[in-house]
Chains A and B, each alone.
Chain A
Amino acid sequence: MVPVSYYLILSGILFTIGTVGILVRRNALVIFMSIEVMLNAVNLTFLAAGRYLNSLDGQVIVLLVLTVAAAEVAVGLALIVAIFRSRGTTDVDEVNLLKW
């Protein structure tokens, strides 16, 4: 039996990787993947906690998150394609018109 803390530590590492990825990478696709990593880190936490507490609620929430993430991927990828078509790049530092 693997203790629950291992899962939580793994989840924390995954979440940190995702956060750092968002902050340091410029390619919109990579940032998108980082967000997915963060979401799945949270999912892992839910599953571990659900198992630990003998509750099905964790798995239900994860299914919900997966659904939302699927929709988010569809919208997010469409946005990235649209940006690439109009700006010719997916570098987020080039997409900075909305500012003071």
Chain B
Amino acid sequence: MLYQAWIIPILPLLGAATNAFLGARLGKRFVSLVACGTVGLAFWGSAWVFADLTRLPAGERLAMLPMYQWISAGDFQVNFALQVDPLSAVMLLVVSGVSFLIHVYSTGYMAEDRGYARYFTYLNLFVFSMLLLVTANNFLVLYVGWELVGLCSYLLIGFWYERKAAADAGKKAFIVNRVGDLGFALGVMLIFVTFGSLDYQDVFAGAPQMLAVGSVTATTITLLLFVGATGKSAQIPLYVWLPDAMEGPTPVSALIHAATMVTAGVYMVARTHALFELAPFSLSVVATIGAVTAFYAATIALVQADIKRMLAYSTISQLGYMFLAVGVGAYAAGIFHLTTHAFFKALLFLGAGSVMHALGGETNMLKMGGLRLKLPVTYWAFVVGALAISGFPGLSGFFSKDAILWQAFASPRGGIALWAMGLATGALTAFYALRAVFLTFHGESRLTWEAERHVHEPPSSMALPLGLLAALAALGGYLGLPHILGGSDALGSFLAPVFLDQANTALETQAPGNELGLMGLAVLAAFLGMGLAWYFYLARPEAPGALARRLGGLYALLANKYYVDEIYGGLVVQPLVALAHFLGEGFEIAVIDGVVNGVGRTVAASGAWLRRLQTGFVRNYALSIFLGAVIVLGYFLFR
């Protein structure tokens, strides 16, 4: 199966094509069968590939799949080629597995939607694009996948395009991503100019010889690639599209804007670590942006009333963690957190979707409350997700977050400051996650009478994925159980061949006591956050309002998301709109139209003048024929 791995991305593409052309005619059962079936088969194929890989010796776990020569223009030779190695295999499993669960969930969530076939067409197309992205063997195929997931994200955010907010959010996501993708494209071009090839093997093998550590070229390439990552993975300064992307259907938010697409940046940095290792400055930029984003987005998430927006800021914050990890050289820890985050964040989103489903689309947590008795399945799933993201000991988020914090502290590239930001973020994370649980499921019901009657548990097609994801969110951490707790860090050692060239030897020299001590601190921070959430939202429900009034300025700053959308609007959007107005209503009319109409008027005027020659008098024509003949004769006689 290893060398037939190209079938894995093709399957969802076939599903997308089938649903696009036949879906509307053949009914919803057929559409769901095709959509879930192809993704399920892709997951099965990924598992098969994974099993085949584990049977090979650790050093030989790499399969190249050249498909065909794609572009050949002089020195520019690109093959359409895929590859499977441990990193790709992990991503294949995560992407296809979570996608399959979310496809199944969607059959329940979108059951009543008019655009059922269209929805699953887009969703399958997305799975194809994402699988292509993670199996690419060169930067151009990676770029194609990168752009295709962006397109699918745009299509799915604006899925309910009749709503202006959704259409606007889709445009915003697409345009902000263009900014990042421009950087990414420039990075890819610079790679080609530098190495003369876009193949991973050529570039990564050639990089240490061709580029000095810290050289300007290496730093420029990696910073440009990271600009692309900040766009796709919603980091400062290009994160603004992700909260708005919540206008899309909730399973889309779970799949694209939490579990898979937004982690493409992390995957890309991990994949190109051979280049990043040559640019220490870029790595410190990645780590700093990651840590700052993690903390910054977590503070915004503290005060959001909309459950999906809260989860969106939480996603930005968790992505910051992953960038912190890859920025300090802990690539395996970054991918580990990517995996566990895919589980618990997809779970939280699907739980939120379940609540919205029960309440007829309500997303404001301040209008919920007391739902735990009415929605027990959703409640328990959501609690597992919230505890996992908070870093409750034993659940998946605890292990992955702890691996990141430990490496941020102990790695030579890390430091106390990065670690402290991560730790503070951990406390904030625990607070907002539990706040969401308490506001939504505990306390007095704040539902309207109508909503109260409508509340119902989700159908089994939605409950089943919730249960499976809850199990994964609870147990996923044992994939990477650290040595210090008697584990073997299975995921880390599986990924090690990919990241072998930069084994973090410094970590071995650290005293084991430090790691346990830091772990304890992280747990303390998590419990502090949870305790505060309990105090504010269960014990003293009137306290949050009082605190918000006491800290009015700070509260307003957070509730308005630091006014970043307004600042971007003033600094970027409005000048561009003004320029567009000037070009459209001034320049266009005066200059472009003037030139075009001027040419037309000149031709018309000369025609009006010249047509006077056509007098209608036969003798005039005869005279001109005669004169013409005389001139021709004269020319031949007297030349």
Q: Which residues of A contact B (CB under 8 A)?
A: 19, 22-24, 26, 31, 92-93, 95-100
- What is the bound-complex CA distance between A76 and B617, given in angstroms? 18
Q: Are B617 and A100 in contact (CB under 8 A)?
A: no
Bound state CA distance, A24 and B615, in angstroms? 16
Chain A nearest CB from B289 CB (Å) reads 74
Nearest B residue (CB) for A24: B619
- Is B618 interfacial (CB-CB < 8 Å)? yes
Q: Is B623 an interface residue (CB 8 A)?
A: yes
> What are the 4 closest A-B residue pairs judged by CB atoms, nearest first?
A99-B616, A96-B616, A100-B611, A100-B614
Which residues on A sit within 8 Å (CB–CB) of B612?
A: 100
Question: What is the minimal beta-carbon distance from A4 to any residue of chain B, in angstroms?
Answer: 20
> Which residues of the other chain, B, contact A100 by a CB distance below 8 angstroms?
611-612, 614-616
**If the complex has contacts A100-B611, A100-B612, are A23 and B626 also in contact, measured as CB distance less than 8 A?**
yes
Measured CB to CB, the residues of B under 8 A from A are: 611-612, 614-619, 622-623, 626
Q: Chain B residues near A26 (CB, 8 Å)?
A: 619
B616 engages A23 (CB within 8 Å): no
- In the complex, which residues of chain A have a beta carbon less than 8 angstroms from the beta carbon of B611? 100
Interface residue from A19, A22, A31, A98 paired with B616 (Cβ < 8 Å): A98
Query: Given A100-B611, A100-B612 in contact, is the A92-B617 Cβ separation under 8 Å?
Result: yes
Cβ contact within 8 Å between A99 and B622: no
Q: Are B619 and A23 in contact (CB under 8 A)?
A: yes
Indicate if the CB atoms of A23 and B615 lie closer than 8 Å: no
Q: A100-B611, A100-B612 are in contact. Are A22 and B617 (CB under 8 A)?
A: no
B611 nearest in chain A by CB position: A100
A99-B614 in contact given A19-B626, A23-B626 (Cβ < 8 Å): yes
Alpha-carbon separation in the docked complex, A11 to B357 (Å): 107
Which B-chain residue is minimally distant from A25 (CB atoms)? Answer: B619
**Most interface-central of B611, B619, B626 (chain A CB within 10 A):** B619
Instruction: Identify 19 new A-B residue pairs, CB closer than 8 A, beyond the known A22-B619, A23-B619, A100-B616.
Output: A19-B626, A22-B622, A23-B622, A23-B626, A31-B618, A92-B617, A92-B618, A92-B619, A95-B618, A96-B615, A96-B616, A97-B616, A98-B616, A99-B614, A99-B616, A100-B611, A100-B612, A100-B614, A100-B615
List 28 interface pairs A-B (beta carbons < 8 Å), by A numbering: A19-B626, A22-B622, A23-B619, A23-B622, A23-B623, A23-B626, A24-B619, A26-B619, A31-B618, A92-B617, A92-B618, A92-B619, A93-B617, A93-B619, A95-B618, A96-B616, A96-B617, A97-B616, A98-B616, A99-B614, A99-B615, A99-B616, A99-B617, A100-B611, A100-B612, A100-B614, A100-B615, A100-B616
